[in-house]
Amino acid sequence: MAESDDLGAVGRFTEEIDWVVFLVGAGLTLTFIAAYLLAPEMVVGEDGEGGAIGFANTLFLEYINWAILLIVFLIVLFLLFLIVGPWGSIRFGDDPPEFSFLSFFAMLYSAGFAAGVVFWGPTEALFYYDSPSPLFGAEGGTSEAMTLAVQQTIFHWALPQLAVFTIMGIAIGYFAYNYENVPLRVSSILTPFIGADRLDGPLAKVVDIFAVFATIGGVATSLGFIGSQFVTGLDYQWGINLGDTGIILVVIGMTLLFTLSMVLGVNRGIRRLSNFNMILFVALMLATFIVGPTMFLVLLGTQAFGGMLTDFVSMSLFTGSGVEGGTEWSNTWTVFYWAWALSWAPFAGLFIARISRGRSVREVAFTGIAATSAATIPWFTFVGGTAVWAEHNGVATFLGDPEFSADVAGFILFETFPFGTVFMLAFMILVTSFFVTSADSSTLAVSMMTTGGKAKPSNINRIFWGVMLGATAGILMVLSVEGVEALQSAAVITGGPFAFVCLIALIGLVKEFSSSHGRVLLQDETRIIGSQTEDTPQRDVVPGDDD
């Protein structure tokens, strides 16, 4: 019986697989790893600088940085319009929602970028405090720089990054649930341009292959960072040096965790873990607010949030042109973050679509950029603001510590708290569990991409991509830090052009909603007016009212 079951699992895997997307997507990833193993200088150059990736990264930053900033800004504006405009009432299919709103929110938040939120929470504002954006002309290390640091941080981690995930989720989900024979996959955004009957053609295959490679690059890089923080934190705080073997064990452990969660499925695995994540996230955030400089954080957060709203347009479109050091700063931070988020957009959007059946466009847009921002902004205000306050007032030394890096900032901060060890352990558990959720949802998404859009791919397919993610991150972490940086650059290179895919998704939604649903809304309005005129005096009709 066991053998029969095994054969059944293999048969299901071979029957469901889209061999073109599967083999080319896996082949691109393995080719990158093999090229780095055989000729690292050719790929990343010497000391992580130069090489093919460095050359491509330079071209990318020089020629399309402005386009990325503009496209992401337009996506934010469009989603805000969907929240308040008439198109927001459009639904994803006719079925009721599969999950409660709280579970839906927790999964959307956890599966998108929450691991990065936790990882950078104690760190990012410190970099801006030391070196503020040239847009503001403030001097680093000053009281003015404290507010600007938190303002810049919540700008980077609130609306824009979340927007690129959400636009993909709405586009994929709408066409998959409202059209016949449109599968749950990234290429479904092409439906209004090429038609549902051509989604198995070469153009759609290219989009799906590109989405697989971008997802593997973005998520494997993040796994490398999270694993690095775990290992570095153990060494920094408790003197436990795990070495290369320890790194492999940590990555294997994380891979097993997210693969197990993924195999359990969305309802039993990802949903439950996401709910746990949000409880621990809120508890650690509130504890930091209470233990930290509470009144200072209230005042700082209010001013930083107000500054972000006031300066949102100029921050969104700041290319650095004409400002000394501006272009380099913009490319290093804002453009990089948008590109990295775009490398996650295929899987995050696909996962958002997977859990959004039955919801309205307004619900998804609101949850994707407003509700998630409402959780992210307090985190960076409380945790990042406390770190900046501690550095400015000499309570803790971050920037002057020769061992300071993003990996250890949380340990330095929580070491100053009462019961600091408890805070550190909670922090390590949180960043790991959030990443496990992101990784298993991304692996599920890649499995869906490589099966032609099946909502529940086979376990063999899921496990294969889980192992692929873990192996990629583990190999590059062991080889050298330049390896992780190389994959990070590769993720940026694949993520940057994905801005144009998101733009296609936006244009497709505008085309669809303005034609199909514009007529439906007008017909509904006409019926209402007609029913009113039966019992009310006739009014003069202006020519063109029915157009």
Question: How much is the pLDDT for 322?
Answer: 87
**Average of pLDDT values for 304-320?**
96
So what's the pLDDT on residue 147? 96
pLDDT given for residue 428 in this prediction: 83
Report residue 538's pLDDT band, with 50, 70 and 90 as the boundaries: very low
| Side chain identity at residue 82, one-letter code | L
**Choice between 77 and 528, residue whose per-residue pLDDT is larger:** 77
What residues contact residue 385 under an 8 Å CB cut-off, 6+ apart? 125, 146, 150, 292, 296, 297, 300, 301, 304
Amino acid 239: pLDDT = 73
The arithmetic mean of pLDDT across residues 217-226, rounded, is 68
Write down the domain spans for the chain: 64-515
Q: Which is nearest to 499 in space by CA: 70, 83, 34, 185?
A: 70
Contact 372, 104 (CB under 8 A): no
Q: Which residue in the block uniquely carries the two structure tokens 């303005």?
A: 514
Distance, CA of 400 to CA of 389 (rounded, Å): 15
- For 76, the token pair is 């934010």
Judged against a pLDDT cut of 60, whether residue 217 lies above it is answered with yes
Mean pLDDT of 75-86: 96
CA angle 379, 383, 388 (to 5 degrees): 135
CA-nearest of 55, 59, 162, 67 to 108 is: 162
pLDDT at 78: 98
| Tens digits of residue pLDDT in 119-174 | 889 999 999 999 999 999 999 999 999 999 999 999 999 899 989 999 999 999 99
Alpha-carbon distance 199 to 45, whole Å?
39
pLDDT for 25 equals 79
Read off the pLDDT of residues 454-477 as tens digits, 9 standing for 90 and up.
777 877 887 888 777 777 766 666
Q: Name the CA dihedral angle for 198, 202, 203, 206, rounded to a multiple of 10 degrees.
A: 130
Banded model confidence at residue 395, pLDDT cuts 50, 70, 90: very high
- For the CA atoms of the chain, what is the radius of gyration? 24
Top-ranked range on mean pLDDT: pick from 169-173, 209-213, 276-280, 523-527: 169-173
Poorest-confidence range of 79-88, 240-249, 343-352? Answer: 240-249
Question: CA nearest 18: which of 173, 212, 175, 155?
Answer: 212
Quick: pLDDT tens for 233-251. Answer: 777 767 777 666 776 777 7
More confident residue, 435 or 388: 388
> Percentage of the chain with pLDDT > 70?
79
Closest listed residue to residue 441, CA positions, set 29, 13, 93, 113: 113
Cβ count near 523 (within 10 Å): 10
Q: Are 332 and 152 in contact (CB under 8 A)?
A: no
pLDDT of 413: 92
The pLDDT > 90 percentage for the chain reads 39
Residue 91 has φ and ψ, to the nearest 5°, of: -110, 160
Cβ neighbours, 10 Å, residue 93 = 15
Tens-digit pLDDT profile for residues 174-185: 999 999 889 888
Name 22's Cβ contacts closer than 8 Å, sequence gap at least 6. Answer: 450
* Rounded distance between C-alpha atoms, residue 330 and residue 328, angstroms: 6
DSSP 378: H
Q: What is the pLDDT of residue 543?
A: 33
| Dihedrals phi, psi of 249, to nearest 5 degrees | -65, -40
The overall average pLDDT reported for the chain is: 81
Task: Determine whether 272 is exposed, middle or buried from the number of CB atoms within 10 Å of its CB (0-12, 13-18, 19+).
Answer: middle
pLDDT in tens, 411-445: 899 989 998 889 988 888 887 777 777 777 777 77
- Going by pLDDT thresholds of 50, 70 and 90, the confidence category of residue 5 is very low
- Span 357-367, mean pLDDT? 96
CB distance 349 to 172 below 8 Å? yes
CATH number of 64-515: 1.20.1740
Q: Higher pLDDT residue, 215 or 227?
A: 215
> How far is 391 from 285, CA to CA, in rounded Å?
19
Select the more confidently predicted residue: 466 or 393: 393
| 171 vs 22, residue with greater confidence | 171
Which H/E stretch holds residue 215?
A: helix 202-238
In this prediction, residue 527 carries a pLDDT of: 42
Q: What is the pLDDT of residue 485?
A: 60
The Cα 494–Cα 340 span in angstroms is 9
pLDDT at res. 530: 40
Distance from C-alpha of 31 to C-alpha of 46, rounded to nearest angstrom: 20
Judged on CB neighbours under 10 Å (0-12, 13-18, 19+), 418 is: exposed
3-state class (DSSP) for residue 46: strand
Of 13-27, 332-346, 391-405, 508-522, least confident by mean pLDDT is 508-522
The token pair that represents 19 in the structure block: 């061999």
What burial class does residue 524 get, using C-beta atoms within 10 Å of its C-beta: 0-12 exposed, 13-18 middle, 19+ buried? exposed
